[in-house]
Structure 1
Amino acid sequence: MKRLGPLLTLGAMAVLAVVLLVINMSKETEPTPNSAAATTTAPAAATTPGTPTTSINAATPFPAKADYVGTIPLQSGGTLTLSIAVQGSKATAYACDGQSIESWLQGSATNGSLQLTGKNNARLDGSFDGKAVNGTLRIGGEQWGFTAAPVQPPAGLYVYNDGGERESWIVDSNGGVTGVRRAADGSTSPAPALATDATAIVNGKKVTASKVSGGDSAG
């Protein structure tokens, strides 16, 4: 009996060791929620170098015939008035300050984009977004951004030519008129008043101005 006690003790210890080993093995093989084996990461979306993150809306085609008028503030404190007449695939634009600055430009109106040029390296680049024409105007080495909204007749661009002298007017959506007279010698001055019926007194006689369309060459 004295020998049996130690044997029973050793047997109990062996059973306990086996139980502890099984428990430890169970803990090692079961992944926990925070373990690397249980965590998955979605692969990053592939990107192409140079690909823009935002899309650029394409220009909207112009109506078959339309007029647009806008104003451009000048650093001198004055204002340039800009008129753009579009007809089919052609456009004519005119900008003036009502005093001495003026420029006529002509060119294409294709797929909602304008590319117009004039004398002395004048240039107008613009696009139609379905609501207005936005772009850049360059005259005499200066450059301005602009927005020109659509207008309905009698608003628009008017001109009268006689004996080498030209009177040009822009009528805005509120009936306001801005115009410049260019004499035969190239000098400029404010144009005479233009009435609502498109008539004016030029050199003492009453004349009727012609409304300019996109395909007209009046400059």
Structure 2
Amino acid sequence: MKNYIRILLLGVAALLTLGTLSACSSGTKEATETTGSPETSETSAAPAPGTASPFPASAKYIADMKSADGKPMVIGIAVDGDEVAAYACNGVDDEAWFFGNQKDGKIGITSRFKDTLTAEFNGKDVVGDLTMNGVAFKFSAPAVPAPAGMYTADLDGVRASWVVRPDGSATGVQFNGGVSGRDFEQAELQQLNEQQFRNAVRNKRQLQQAQQITLLANKSARATINGTEVTPVLVNGNFRL
């Protein structure tokens, strides 16, 4: 009798075990059919790899752009090795210089006036985002041949700067004085909120449209600042103010 009961219990245990295994197998199959294998799931959810390409040893890029509400802006970018200089302006009353470095085809620089430039080289154009005084712009800047590029000149504390396109047309702004980013320590600037910074620093600059610049046959340039002739210099990636 005892042997009979023992055999019966073993049989019941075997049936329970078989049922559990079948349920687990079915659940695993359903989960696989619903979500796919772990490898497939991770692959489909993973973000696309970066598309940045190495910059040429030396190159210049220019783009015209507009904000969502139609505000115009132009940017010039010069890259020489790891060094980057960029200049953006609206040709009327706003400008920003950006100085820094690129790494692995990517640029991320903040100006002295809290404007930001983030971009990457896709093997053909420099594509990125520019924020000027809180206004966002998107751009795609193709390479431009010499003598196109950025130019700047100063006279008695007044500086004029231009972005000159391949067709010779230019957009520029003249800085007549007022508050400079160098007038404050970065620790002081960090204590100001956005509106305080604009009122006390950014909007204290005296800016106006720059006079026309003319590119000459010998790849130099000519312009005037307040009626006096000046010789603008071409901005390369290692240019700094």
TM-score range, shorter chain: 0.7 to 0.9
Q: 69, 72, 76: which one pairs with 1:79? A: 72
Secondary structure of 2:86 counterpart: strand
Alignment partner of 1:63 is 2:56: yes
**What's the secondary structure of 2:124's corresponding residue?**
coil
* Residues 1:205 and 2:228 are matched in the alignment: yes
Matched, 1:164 2:157: yes
Q: What is the alpha-carbon root mean square deviation over aligned residues?
A: 1.9
Does residue 1:137 correspond to 2:136, yes or no? no
CA distance in 1, matches of 2:50, 2:112: 32
| SS of equivalent residue, structure 1 residue 119 | coil
Identity %: 32
Separation of aligned partners in 2, 1:90 and 1:77: 31
Q: Offset of 1:57 from its aligned partner? A: 4.6
Q: Secondary structure at the match of 1:120?
A: coil
Q: Does 1:173 align with 2:196?
A: no
TM-score by length of 2: 0.68
Unaligned runs of 5+ in 1: 1-42
Query: Offset at 1:77?
Result: 3.6
SS at match of 2:113: helix
TM-score by length of 1: 0.74
Question: Where in structure 2 are the equivalents of 1:34-73 lying within 5 Å?
Answer: 46-48=37-39, 49-52=41-44, 55-73=48-66
Alignment partner, residue 214 of structure 1 = 237
Decide whether aligned partners of structure 1 residues 90 and 71 sit closer, same or farther in structure 2, where only a CA change above 3 A counts: same
CA distance in 1, matches of 2:130, 2:159: 22
Of 105, 108, 114, which aligns to 2:107?
114
* In 1, Cα distance between equivalents of 2:38 and 2:138: 34
The structure with more radius of gyration:
1
Partner deviation per Cα, 1:178-212 (whole Å, 9 max, x = no partner): 00001022311100110122101222222110000
1:71 positional shift: 1.0
The count of aligned residue pairs is 176
Deviation at 1:122, TM superposition (A): 1.0
Equivalent residue, structure 2, for 1:192: 211
SS of 2:143's partner is strand
Alpha-carbon offset, residue 76 of structure 1: 5.0
Query: Which aligned pairs between 1:28-39 and structure 2 lie closer than 5 A?
Result: none
Q: Distance in 1 between matches of 2:69 and 2:129?
A: 19
Letter in structure 1 aligned against 2:153: Y
Specify the code of the residue in structure 2 equivalent to 1:211: L
Contact map agreement 2:84 2:99 (CA 8 A) in 1? yes
Q: 1:199 to 1:56 in 2, by over 3 A?
A: same
1:22-56 deviations in whole A, cap 9, x for unaligned?
xxxxxxxxxxxxxxxxxxxxx97734344346743
Give the conservation status (yes or no) of the 8 Å contact 1:96–1:180. yes
Question: What is aligned with 1:92?
Answer: 85
The alpha carbon displacement at 1:116 in A equals 1.4
Write the distance in 1 (CA, Å) between the matches of 2:101 and 2:56: 14
Structure with the bigger percentage of helix: 2
Q: Which amino acid is 1:51 matched to?
A: T
Question: Does the CA-based 8 Å contact 1:91-1:116 persist in structure 2?
Answer: no
Residue of structure 2 equivalent to 1:19:
none
Q: Distance in 1 between matches of 2:71 and 2:48?
A: 37
Gaps of 5+ in 2: 1-31, 179-204
